[in-house]
Each structure stands twice: as C-alpha cells, then as structure tokens.
Structure 1
Amino acid sequence: MILAIILVSYFMILLDNSIIFTALPTIHTAMGYSTTGLAWVQDAYTLVFGGLLLLGARAGDLLGRRRVFVFGLAVFAVASLLVGAAQSGWWLIGARALQGVGAAIVAPSSLSLLTASFAEGRERARAVALYGATAGIGASLGMVIGGALADWVSWRAGFFINVPIGVAMIVLAPRFIPETNRISGRFDLTGAVSATLGVGAVVFAIIHSAEAGWGSPMTVAMLILGAVLMVVLVAGERRARQPIMPLRLFADRRRVGAYLARLLYLGAMIGFFYFSTQFMQGVLGFSAFQAGIAFFPMTLVNFAVALTIPRLTRRFGQAVPLAVGVVLTFLGMVWLSRVQATDSYWDAVALPMVLIGAGQGLAFAPLTSAGIADVPAEDAGAASGLVNTFHQLGMALGLGFSSQLQRQPVQVCNQPPWRSPRGWTPRCSPAAAYWPCA
C-alpha cells in the first residue's frame, strides 16, 4: 500500500505534465489564447515546479515527509479543480502555477518516502524500478489519456480526474504511510530564497529563449541572475548548519553523474515528445487520441523492460543497464530523425519508439537509484529534490531548444490520411503539412 500510494501520487503529477501537450490545441481554441499566452499554460507550471523543488524537498526533512506529502497532494488537487473550472486565460495560467507548487512538494516527497520506507537492497531496488517505470510511462500514457479526453469529453476532464485521485491518496496516506522523523533546527532561509529564485531564473531564461532567442537581453539577464544566485546559494550552503542543498551530496561522483545524465536524458526525451506528437497530428493526420495511442509501443515496451531491472542490476550492476538504455534511446532518436512526410507510422515512428521505450525502461531506474545512493537519512529529502530538480531543468532545457528549432509557422493538415501500399499518407502535400525546420 505504501508503494501504491507513492506511485499513484507520482503518476498523477507526471500525467498532468504530459496531458497538456495533447490538450493544447483544444485549449487554444476554447480559451482564445495568443501564441504567447498558450505557451504560458505550460510554462507557468514548469517555472514554479522547477523553482520550488529544492524548497519542497527540504520542507519534508524539517516538517515530516508524510505531512508535507499530504499537503502537496491537497494543493495539487485543489489546483487541478481550478484548472478544470477556469473561465479565463489568467485564471488558467494562475491555476497551472498553483499546480506547480503542489507538484514541487509531492515529487521529491514521494521519492524520499520511498527511500525511507524500503530498506537498501533488493526491496528498495524493486521499489525504485517501479518508480522509474512510472517516470517512464507517465509521460506517454498522459498523451493517451489527454488525447482521449480532449477528443471525447473535454480538455477540462483531464484535470478533473486528479481531484478524486488526490482525495483518495490524502485519505490513504496517513493510514498506511508512517511519519518520518523530523530534523530539529531552523530553516535555511538564505538557501531557500537563493535556490528558489536561482533555479526559477534559469528556467525562465530557458523558457524565454524559446521565443526571443538566446541573445535576447531578457534571456541573458535572467541567465546571469540565475548564475549569481546559484553562486550565492553555494557560498551560503558552505556555512549553513542545515543547508537546503547539502554540498556533501555532490562529493560522490556517481550521484553527480546521475544528476547530469538525468538532465541531458530528459532534455532529449522532451524534444522527442514535443516533435513526435506534432508530426503525427500535423503530418500524418492523426487526431489527438490517435496520437496518444500511437505512443503505446513505447509505453508497453518501457514497462516490460523496467520490470526486469531488479534482476539485471543484481547480475550486471547499474552501469551496464544504464549504458545500454542510453545507447538504445540514442539509436531510436537517430532512426526517428530520418522520418519523412510520406513515411508510414509503423515503419518510421512505431519501430523507433520500441527502441526508445526499451532504452527508457533500462535507464530511468539506475538514474534514480544512483541519485539517492548512500545518502544518509537526514539528507534523503534534499537528494530527492536534486533528482527532481535536474529532471525538471532537463525538460525545460529540452523544450527551450526544441521550440527554437520550430522556425516555421504551424500549418496543420486537416484532411484525413488515405491508405496507400506504404501505409497511411497525408492528403496534404508535405509543403502544406507542418514539420519543424521544413
């Protein structure tokens, strides 16, 4: 039950992060957003989520992880209700930012509760493998659910479903999850402010670069501000008695490698989701639901491979599955990058997705395990916060670069595809259909 509550709560956070991709075209029409306003539906969530992760993680260490976890679920559930009920653009963006607050509390708390609840060894390896599988399939399954609800019910339904799930987890968590010991002492206010504003400034700069470019004065100013605040954070953490980001966590090369690898891996994965869903809807003529279903080959393979991770790591260690996973993901990305407007889904998209899904299944659990390896109990929350911070920074960075690659205006081919000997082909000519850098 402890594992189920943690995984369902974490899945709910991931689900909302990807549901928005397939729902954005519908939201654009329903709410009458400009292109910039529509971007902030996702960016408000990303900015707040990334900025508050370290603060949310340390709060669990000081106030009790279960208590903070339940509070985060309550914030996220209320925010989801507000998103679904939004009647104006500013309401929707504000509610998405509030969702980011809840997610920044729940995500690190869920991983630190998992670390505290399962002893290091076989038990924790299995739990982390399932956590990694959840991280892998959450994004792709969110596409399916978001597309189905947007097509059949409403884009709002994708957010309303969080409310009963959140309420159920709030009721169950105090019953089954024991409270962790709290660390006595004062809160690291300097570290909290510099970490929140510093990470937030970097995320904002990445988001802004997608629209204005890396040479924009605002982008450069926010990057400089973020760098200055991160220097202030490091200097302050050296002297803090109970730092929000203990620098001793960076003394282990394995953990540092896991953080950086996670950042790069998630940067690649978000670009894959960003372009693949647009290609399938804009060029192949898929509906939002069909585009979501089209991610199933990756999702199923990902889950199946992730379940073998405990056995593989016992036999080969963590480095071998991780290296193989990264290589498989890379090969799948290279294959997918060769796709043409006249190619069929099965040959050019589904088969590369199988490789990417296998790579994800092999990579996520070792990356998570290495990020929290050999961490003392009092630093479990901070380590979990760093894992999620690099996860979110990677997504923001990948999305920023992906958006900059999209130089052409979006022209969606609204004609249904026709069946040819090669498979489903769009009726529109490749020049009329949208494809990045076409």
Structure 2
Amino acid sequence: MRRSPWSTLAVLALAQFMVVLDVTIVNVALPDMQTDLGFSTDRLQWVISAYTLVFGGFLLLGGRAGDLLGRRRLFVAGLVVFGLASLAGGFAQSPNMLIALRAVQGLGGAMLSPAALSILTVTFAPGRDRNIALGIWGGLAGLGGTLGVVAGGFLVDDASWRWVFFVNVPVAAALVAITPLIVRESRVGNASGGRTFDLPGALLATTGTLALTYGVIRAEPLGWSDPEVFGSLIAAVVLLAGFVVAESRSSAPLVPLRMFRSRSLSLSSVQLGLNGAAFLSMFFLAAIFLQQVRGRSAVETGVQFLPMGVAAIVGATLASALVTRIGTRPVHLAGAVMSVAGLLLLTTAGADGSYAAELLPGFTLFGFGIMWVGVPGQISAVSEVDHRDAGAASGLVSAGYQIGGVLGLAVVNTLSTSLANSRLAEGADPQTALVDAFHRGILVAAAFAAVNAGLALVQKQRVPDAEEIAEAVPV
C-alpha cells in the first residue's frame, strides 16, 4: 500500500473521528448505564469526567512522548489502549469498573490524538495542502461529535448501552493493522539531547485536578466543612502548587511558565475552559432531561441534539471567515452572547412542551455560540506565543478546555443534584424535581458563558490571516 500523504490523512482523521465520536456517543447512553449498573445521580457524571479528565491531564505528556519515542509508535499504542479499554468497558459489571475503564480510554486518547496531529503537521508542508488537511481533520472531528449522539441512540435502542463501547473495537483494530503500512515514523531528537518526559508535571496536574473535582462533587452530600471534602480541596491546592514548582524547575517542562507572560494565552485558556464547562454541562443535563423527564428514547434524544451539532459545524466555518474581516474580539463576544441566549432559552423547557418551541432554538443558538467562542479563542491563544512554544500553547488550551469542562460539570451537577434532593424532600414529584434541577444547572452553565462575554471585552483584538487560522486547530 502506497504511503501517500492523503492516505496518511485518512488514517489519522478516522482515528480522531473515533475519539471525538466516543465523547458524544456515551452521553445518550447515560440513563441506561445508570439503570443497569446502579449508578447514583452524583456518580453518573464520572462516566464523562473520568475520560475527559485523564484525556486533558495527559494530553501534553502524550505529545511529548510522541516526539521522543516516535509519533507513529505512540499513535498505535494509543489505539491499542483505547481499543482494549473500549472492549473491557462494554463488559463492565459495576460503576467503579466502568469509570476506571473510561479513565483508561482517556489515556489512550491522550496518547493517540496529539501524536496524530503531529504526524499530520510533519506530513504536509505549510501552505495550501496543510490547510486543506487541517480542514478535513477538524471537519471530521466535528462530524464525529455530531453523529455520535445519533449513532449512540441507535446502538442503545437496538442493542444495549454496551455497544457504544464495542463499536470502537473493530475500528481501532483495523487502524492498528494498516497504520504501519501507510504512516511513516517520525520523532524529534531524543532524551539524551536534553528533552525529557516531565512525568511529574503531568501526574501533579492530573491528580491535583482530580482532587479538586472530587472535593466539589462530594461537597453536596457531605457539606463543605466535611473532612473528606476539605482534605480533597487542600490536597488539590498542594498538588497544583507542586505542579507550578515542578514546571519552574524542569529543564523541559510540559508547560513552560514563560508562556503565561502572554495575556492573550492566559485569557484564552480561561475562555476555552469556560466554553468547555458550559458545553459539557449542557450536554450532560440535556441528555438526562430528554430521556428521564420527557421520556424520549435514546435515538430520539440523539436526533434532537443533531441541530446543535450541525449549527456548530456551520458556526465554525462562519467564525473562521469572520475573524479575518472583523477580528477576534467581536466574534468572541457575539459567540458568548449567543451561548448565553441559547442556554436561557433552554430554561423555558418543561416536562411537557414543544421541542420546536422550547428546545430547538436554544440548541441551535448554543451550537453556533460555542464555536464563535472557540475559534477566536484558539487563534488568540497562539497569537503572542514564541514559535518554539506554539505546540505547547495549543496543547495547553486543549487541555484547559477538557479540564474546564470537567470542573464545570462537577459544579453544575453538584448544584443540580442538591436542588433535586431538596425538592424531593419538600414533597415534589420526581419529574418536577428533575425539571427544576435541569433549569438550575442550565442557569449555572449560562453564568459560565456570561463570564466569557466579559472576558471578550478585555481580550486583545486580533485580525488573523489565513495561515494563522490554519495553525489554530479547534478544540
């Protein structure tokens, strides 16, 4: 089989499609997982958070390991880990087992995704071909997220929730088999040349974020003053402080602290984290709402999410064109405002009501909004960073998006669950309690988006050219 750049792109894009598909395909299966395995309401979010947290926490380490050990080698290893974890996840018999395997899936994704992107950038020279390749890469990733909700619905309704994991196995196996035939190996230097993995940095960042997330989640049932909660939060502060110290002393840090001298990078990392928090929270809450409150099947839930995915794809295209004309700040501000408006529209939805009137406008507007924040945010993130740090900056904001999503979901689910339990204790029926919890959670997500609107006003204005847009790979 000939090793052409475009066949290499096909392999890489299919792998990224699978990874992104897995993020959304699982959401519509959550209620069935909860019933079958006996998940509590507060623990169900870990099916999403375990994957996202480990993926984001080890994303930078995955990129570094690919540079040192060989990008193709790490890409194949990531596929193997992802495929085996998917297979085992389909056979999970308990909540703890499924959560652990989702974390392993996230590790596999953190190995293969940055390696795939690195292979793509070294396969295509800067210019038209690379721009086209990145466009196909980003487009298929967006399509994977959109189709995931529908594919997940069909699998859950026609087979079982376990097939949202099994479906990854033949794809991963096929990619493992054909990758050595199509994709060339590449690496940058070696450890003896002064490059190191910085494993301590990755472990401190991930465990610190995990401790923070756990403390927020446990605060609802136990209270903020409980020793378990307080201890988790203190541990998070210590671990994250240790991460900063480790990075300042490392000869080859995962996150060079000098990058934070860039105001644009610092603000963009926060903006994209808030964007991830709003999106992941809304997606999680809406999947539960549609199935447990409105009684929709998994397929119907996936179809009702579809307009949001289409709007996101269209929104990304429009945002990329607009930023070259009017700049990043107005596009970002408009996106944040659309996100807030879309979420507020969702708070009008009740247990009974028209999808077209109560949910469709909010889903569509929010789909546009998140991409109108994401595209200028990614461009601004790398606008002031030295070229030698461009890869690290891209990895940082991608990790920030994932981790921001996890923390945001923890806050939103904690506040929503607290209200649902309170309403039930007051004698409300379960459906009313769930509707009230959905509304509160969506309002908190809207608050995240509103903060993003404020940050847009203080972010520097950029009017990028086509090359800068191509370099800013969407998260």
TM-score range, shorter chain: 0.7 to 0.9
Selected match of 2:35 from 29, 33, 53: 29
Residue number in structure 2 paired with 1:356: 366
1:124-181, Cα deviation, whole Å (9 max, x unpaired): 5555555555565544432222222111111111111111222233344444444443
Letter in 1 for 2:275: Y
Q: Distance in 1 between matches of 2:121 and 2:221?
A: 39
Q: Alignment partner of 1:294: what SS?
A: helix
Q: CA deviation at 1:6?
A: 3.3
Query: TM-score scaled to structure 1, two decimals?
Result: 0.84
Determine if contact 2:247/2:254 at 8 Å carries over to the other structure. Answer: yes
Determine if contact 1:151/1:289 at 8 Å carries over to the other structure. Answer: yes
Residues 210 and 122 from structure 1, CA distance in 2 versus in 1: closer, same or farther, beyond 3 angstroms?
farther
Residues 219 and 123 from structure 1, CA distance in 2 versus in 1: closer, same or farther, beyond 3 angstroms?
farther
1:280 aligns to 2:290 (yes or no): yes
Q: Alignment partner of 1:245: what SS?
A: coil
Q: Distance in 2 between matches of 1:199 and 1:433?
A: 30
Residue number in structure 2 paired with 1:68: 74
Letter in 2 for 1:5: V
Residue number in structure 2 paired with 1:316: 326
Residues 218 and 279 from structure 1, CA distance in 2 versus in 1: closer, same or farther, beyond 3 angstroms?
same
Residue number in structure 2 paired with 1:405: 415
Q: How does 1:171-190 map to 2 (within 5 A)?
A: 171-185=177-191, 186-190=196-200
Q: CA deviation at 1:379?
A: 4.3
Q: Distance in 1 between matches of 2:80 and 2:369?
A: 34
Q: CA deviation at 1:207?
A: 4.1
Selected match of 1:392 from 402, 412, 428: 402
Q: CA deviation at 1:25?
A: 1.9
1:38-86, Cα deviation, whole Å (9 max, x unpaired): 4544443344334333322322232233322221121101110111133
Residue number in structure 2 paired with 1:149: 155
Determine if contact 1:122/1:310 at 8 Å carries over to the other structure. Answer: no
Q: CA deviation at 1:410?
A: 12
Residue number in structure 1 paired with 2:348: 338
Q: CA deviation at 1:366?
A: 3.2
Selected match of 2:175 from 149, 165, 169: 169
1:158 aligns to 2:170 (yes or no): no
Residue number in structure 1 paired with 2:456: none
Selected match of 1:243 from 211, 236, 253: 253
Determine if contact 1:405/1:436 at 8 Å carries over to the other structure. Answer: no
Structure 1: runs of 5 or more not aligned: 412-428
Residues 397 and 197 from structure 1, CA distance in 2 versus in 1: closer, same or farther, beyond 3 angstroms?
closer
| Deviates further, 28-37 or 358-367 | 28-37
Q: CA deviation at 1:291?
A: 1.0
Q: Distance in 2 between matches of 1:18 and 1:213?
A: 32
Q: Distance in 2 between matches of 1:123 and 1:327?
A: 35
Determine if contact 1:336/1:348 at 8 Å carries over to the other structure. Answer: yes
| Deviates further, 328-337 or 136-145 | 136-145
Determine if contact 2:57/2:202 at 8 Å carries over to the other structure. Answer: no
Determine if contact 1:213/1:404 at 8 Å carries over to the other structure. Answer: no
Letter in 1 for 2:436: P
Q: Alignment partner of 2:353: what SS?
A: coil
Residues 216 and 48 from structure 1, CA distance in 2 versus in 1: closer, same or farther, beyond 3 angstroms?
farther
Q: Alignment partner of 2:26: what SS?
A: helix
Residues 239 and 430 from structure 1, CA distance in 2 versus in 1: closer, same or farther, beyond 3 angstroms?
closer
Query: TM-score scaled to structure 2, two decimals?
Result: 0.78
Selected match of 2:20 from 11, 14, 22: 14
Q: Distance in 1 between matches of 2:383 and 2:322?
A: 17
Aligned Cα root-mean-square deviation (Å): 3.3
The percentage of aligned residue pairs carrying the same residue is 39
Selected match of 1:79 from 85, 88, 94: 85
Letter in 2 for 1:400: A
Letter in 1 for 2:163: A
Letter in 2 for 1:250: F
